[in-house]
Chains A and B, each alone.
Chain A
Amino acid sequence: MSRKDHRFTESPVLKDQLASWRIHFVSALIFGALLALVGRAFYLQVINEDFLQERGDARYRRVLEIPASRGKILDRHGETLAQSTPMRAVWATADAKLDKEQLKALSDLLEMDPRQIEKKLVGDKSFIYLKHQVPPEAAARIAALKLPGIQMDREYSRFYPAGDMAAHMVGFTGKEDKGQEGVELAFESRLIGTNGERTVIKDRRGQIVEEIGSERPPQDGEDIQLAIDSKIQFIAFNALRNAIDKFNAKGGSVIVADIKSGEILALANWPTYNPNNRSQLSGGQLRNRAVTDSFEPGSTMKPFIAALALDRGKYKFDSIINCAPGKMTIGSATISDAHPHGALTLAQVIQKSSNIGATKIALGFPSEDMWTMFSKLGFGKPVGLGFPGEVGGRLRPWQTWKPIEQATMSYGHGISVTVVQLAHAYSVFARDGDVVPLSLLKTNGAVAGNTVFAPETARQVRQMLEMVVSPEGTAKKAAVPGYRVGGKTGTAHKLVGGRYANKYLASFVGIGPISEPRLVVGVVVDEPVGGHYGGDVAGPVFSEVMGGALRTLGVPQDQDSTPAALRATVETPAAKAAPLAVAAAKKGGGH
């Protein structure tokens, strides 16, 4: 067949006339398919793009969290009171199948019984923690074992180097490093940090090959520097513990505050607990008594009444008040003194702690005046340190006071306060008539206070307080060798079920040194046995704490403590030694 013979236009196949619907059908089909493809492409690339992009990224892109650490809690000199260190939590997935040898190695590193681990692994949970708080060294060795299905998470553990000494002050953290008590809770928002983040591309072996975009750096929690002085805290805690041992008491608190800056230098409670090991804790141990327990203060309130009397000019330092015969009846109630006194001066009422004297002064003032003074001194409302569970004690509105109540309040019954409130109020005498706001945190220098009394009033009451620790006063055991100090004892019956029981609260609040006050120290001992007077029980604690704290701070002594007999003998060698020392210094060339 030649080429010319073939003519396409005359192909026999084409000669058949096709039905026109067929061509329309096919082209519609093709066009429809095309449309579907375009639609699908549009869906994938425009509508669903975000999702797909994300899934795509997820194959190789990883967002890594950069952990931030919780802030430290420091004392005023920068000593650590609480610090977080990273630990590991070890967990297992369902496909953790270990042979005998691996199990042994793991149990050794975790310090767990292998049977215990086996039991956990047998369970049908897809995820189970084997152990929390695994130290980093052990964790690194476990990771090196490359056990199947054993994984690790980063977690933190909090350490408290000061232990039980400052437990109530510092508090502790619970699960997930969240503050639960004390400063840990009070300053939670400042202590916590925010984790950072960075986005990277990882290769098949899990190594980072590229960083994408900018990282968000982690924000570590703020360090909190407390006003507390570890050394004074130690002195206070020890003195309290010894007194509680000696008197077999139920509990107690001590507070030391700097009256110039209002800083709390020490705050100790008993009973206490070890914040590093909290397996056996009771509510009583946890309580920060100094701020959560209010009590009837007893005679420690008397100096305020004396101050009110002086401030109003109604009495003078040596005005005579007749306290005989040691009993007094108001309405149906009778007030008495522990030891009957005759006529006393205002100062002696404080020195000898006469209830009758205080009552007679108090009844000379309208109840509103007394209430206003108590309120200005901070009674009836929390001091506002920010501690959880802080109470303000009880100070009923003056409108409801009956004369007998006004009388008992003058010597500290029918009103309740915390030891922190008492120390706070006593700053009025140490500071020439104004109360200083107390602070848990280190502050910068002196702070202004709220004026309650005239400076002269404060000076005179200071003198009365010093008389209390003299041999004629109620608290000669509170004296501090080398320093002039002053304070007031309190011996209060405890209220048990609304009635006064034969249980006591012994307290002592005082200031020192008298010539230029620097510190206020408050001591409360709960239910002492074998002695219950504030001067005998709390006085020695005050003496030890005040003396120790003043020496620690390097406050110059304002009293010559050397007995005259000794002075003569020690001065002679000292005088001889001086020229020798000069000679030695000259020989050595001096510095």
Chain B
Amino acid sequence: MRRTNLLLIVVLLVSAIGVISSHHQARKRLQALEQERDRTNNLEVEFGQLQLEMSSWAAHTRIERIAREKLGMQPPDMKKVQKLGGGQ
């Protein structure tokens, strides 16, 4: 009788500690998950900003200005353009 009781007490203790540790683990994991979620959010924000930055660098007005002023380019005179192919 006494031995059974002792065994049950030990089993009880072990399971109690198990519950505590699994709870602790769950919280730790959850925190890690939260951190990752924050990171996802921040990355999404950054992605959006980079996209915006890209489109302002690639703006047609900017490209044209640089092509004309810095590189001295200009659209070709249609008279100097020759069409290739098309049965010629």
Residues in chain A within 8 A of chain B (CB atoms): 79-80, 83-86, 136, 159, 161-163, 165, 207-211, 230-231, 234, 238, 481-482, 547, 556-557, 560-563, 566, 570, 574
Q: Is the CB–CB distance between A563 and B79 below 8 Å?
A: yes
Closest 9 CB pairs of A and B: A481-B78, A161-B55, A234-B60, A80-B55, A85-B48, A159-B52, A209-B27, A161-B56, A570-B82
The residue on B at minimum CB distance from A135 is B49
Chain A residues with CB below 8 A from B72, complex form:
none
Chain A residues with CB below 8 A from B48, complex form:
83-85
- Tell me the bound Cα distance from A147 to B83 in angstroms: 69
Contact of B45 among A79, A136, A234, A570 (CB under 8 A): A136
Please name 5 pairs of A and B residues whose Cβ atoms are closer than 8 Å in the assembled complex, sorted by A.
A80-B51, A86-B45, A230-B60, A481-B79, A574-B82
- Tell me the bound Cα distance from A213 to B81 in angstroms: 69
Q: Is the CB–CB distance between A562 and B49 below 8 Å?
A: no
> Distance (Å) between the CB of A547 and the closest chain B CB?
8
Q: Is the CB–CB distance between B60 and A482 below 8 Å?
A: no
Contact of A85 among B45, B61, B82 (CB under 8 A): B45
- Tell me the bound Cα distance from A563 to B81 in angstroms: 10
Q: Is the CB–CB distance between A163 and B59 below 8 Å?
A: yes
Chain A residues with CB below 8 A from B84, complex form:
574
Given contacts A80-B55, A208-B30, contact A482 B79 (CB under 8 A): no
Q: Is the CB–CB distance between A208 and B83 below 8 Å?
A: no
- Tell me the bound Cα distance from A230 to B45 in angstroms: 25
Contact of B34 among A80, A163, A208 (CB under 8 A): A208
> Distance (Å) between the CB of B46 and the closest chain A CB?
9
Q: Is the CB–CB distance between A210 and B61 below 8 Å?
A: no
- Tell me the bound Cα distance from A560 to B83 in angstroms: 8
- Tell me the bound Cα distance from A182 to B22 in angstroms: 56
- Tell me the bound Cα distance from A77 to B64 in angstroms: 19
Instruction: Apart from A83-B51, A163-B61, A210-B30, list 13 A-B contacts with CB within 8 A.
Output: A85-B48, A85-B49, A85-B52, A161-B52, A161-B55, A163-B59, A234-B64, A481-B78, A482-B83, A561-B83, A562-B79, A566-B80, A574-B82
Interface residues as binary, B51-88 with A (CB distance below 8 Å gives 1, 0 otherwise): 11001101111001000000000000011111110100
- Tell me the bound Cα distance from A184 to B78 in angstroms: 39
Task: Verify if B15 is at the interface (C-beta below 8 Å from A).
Answer: no
Task: Verify if B31 is at the interface (C-beta below 8 Å from A).
Answer: yes
Contact of A561 among B49, B58, B61, B78 (CB under 8 A): B78
Chain B residues with CB below 8 A from A163, complex form:
59, 61
Interface residues as binary, B4-48 with A (CB distance below 8 Å gives 1, 0 otherwise): 000000000000000000000011001100100000000001001
The residue on B at minimum CB distance from A557 is B83
> Distance (Å) between the CB of A200 and the closest chain B CB?
9
Chain B residues with CB below 8 A from A482, complex form:
78, 81, 83
> Distance (Å) between the CB of B36 and the closest chain A CB?
13
- Tell me the bound Cα distance from A159 to B50 in angstroms: 12
> Distance (Å) between the CB of A550 and the closest chain B CB?
12
Chain A residues with CB below 8 A from B51, complex form:
80, 83
Q: Is the CB–CB distance between B82 and A209 below 8 Å?
A: no
- Tell me the bound Cα distance from A208 to B80 in angstroms: 70
The residue on B at minimum CB distance from A547 is B78
Contact of A562 among B26, B34, B83 (CB under 8 A): B83
- Tell me the bound Cα distance from A165 to B80 in angstroms: 30
Chain A residues with CB below 8 A from B49, complex form:
85
- Tell me the bound Cα distance from A574 to B82 in angstroms: 10
Q: Is the CB–CB distance between A83 and B78 below 8 Å?
A: no
> Distance (Å) between the CB of B67 and the closest chain A CB?
13
- Tell me the bound Cα distance from A208 to B35 in angstroms: 11
> Distance (Å) between the CB of A494 and the closest chain B CB?
32
Q: Is the CB–CB distance between A165 and B61 below 8 Å?
A: yes
The residue on B at minimum CB distance from A79 is B55
Q: Is the CB–CB distance between A161 and B45 below 8 Å?
A: no
> Distance (Å) between the CB of A236 and the closest chain B CB?
11
Given contacts A207-B31, A209-B30, A211-B30, contact A561 B81 (CB under 8 A): yes
Chain B residues with CB below 8 A from A570, complex form:
82
Q: Is the CB–CB distance between A561 and B52 below 8 Å?
A: no
The residue on A at minimum CB distance from B26 is A210
Given contacts A162-B59, A211-B30, A231-B60, contact A83 B52 (CB under 8 A): yes
